[in-house]
Structure 1
């Protein structure tokens, strides 16, 4: 359950952040085009406040999960730093450590392969940059999302074995 919750929260964090940044960059781009004389003016609608609210809720929930994990772990005598950093698994369970390690390896390989493909797609940005300003933000935010999803999927498969 903790793995599902933290994966959903982390993916949500990247998606909301990419949406907020994309909105702000698009707005700034329109202002720059107007300053340079390419546009006479433009209409601005205030972005939905749900993005900022969702971002803050996600961040505070992740912080709360980590604080609860630290509170549980601090009573033990032999504590390592990785016990604090990963709230997904019980550090006293040797099988959970092995499963998490293997899942992280799969996620790392997926991030490396996907990063290469994502960065290769940036070659087309100059042609479509003005029309598709959201693309670089979406692709950049999707890199850790892909890693998190591969981590989650491989963790669930390995736990069920």
Structure 2
């Protein structure tokens, strides 16, 4: 269950950061459009909820990691160094092999996925001015897809 929480928090952290960056890039986009004469003026409205979500998730992440650290430290049979990789399940003796296979699967999927995502940028002409959301959110989707691939691979391999 802690792996689901950890992956979910990391995904939410990435998404909230992307939305905060999107607001900044949107203002830059409007300045460029105004400079080029596409628009006469604009109003700026920065949403605050992504920042609040980001702060809440960071606090939750720290609290959960502290609790996990205390639980791992109490277990005399666990390897404390294994705690550095939060996805590593110290209660399962096959965890090293499962983690290795799951990381390999996620890495391969990230390489293939990122090749197509970055390659798709050439089909969007002048994407910074017109389609600012596309490169930002597709780039953020790369680690999100990697985390989900890792989670699914780990859980499938763990139940074999």
Same fold (TM over 0.5): yes
Alignment match, 1:66? 65
Alignment of 1:101 with 2:93, yes or no, is no
Count of matched residue pairs? 158
Structure 1 residues 94 and 79: CA distance shift in structure 2, 3 A: closer
Which stretch of structure 1 is more off in the superposition, 115-124 or 56-65? 56-65
- Structure 2 stretches of 5 or more lacking a match? none
Considering Cα pairs closer than 8 Å and 6+ residues apart, tell me whether 1 or 2 has the greater RCO.
1
1:92 deviation in Å?
4.9
Residues 16, 51 of structure 1: 8 Å contact kept: yes
2: distance between equivalents of 1:94 and 1:15? 33
TM-score (norm 1): 0.85
Question: How far apart are the structure 2 equivalents of 1:22 and 1:132?
Answer: 11
User: Which digits, 9 at most, give the CA deviation of each residue in 1:4-28, with x for residues without a partner?
Assistant: 1111111111111112111210112
**What residue ranges of structure 1 are gaps of 5+ in the alignment?**
none
2:53 equivalent in structure 1: 54
8 Å CA contact 2:79–2:90 kept in 1: the answer is: no
| Aligned residues of 1:7 and 1:149 also touching (Cα < 8 A) | yes
Stretch of structure 1 that moved more, 49-58 or 89-98:
89-98
Answer yes or no: is the 8 Å Cα contact 1:15–1:141 preserved in 2: yes
Query: TM-score, length-normalised on structure 2?
Result: 0.85
* 8 A Cα contact 2:20 2:51, kept in partner: yes
Please state how far the C-alpha of 1:71 moved relative to its aligned partner. Answer: 2.9
Q: Please list every run of at least 4 consecutive aligned residues from structure 1 whose deviation after the TM superposition is greater than 4 angstroms.
A: 74-80
Q: Deviations over 1:26-80 (max 9, x none)?
A: 112213433x362321122332x22111111112222222222333344659856
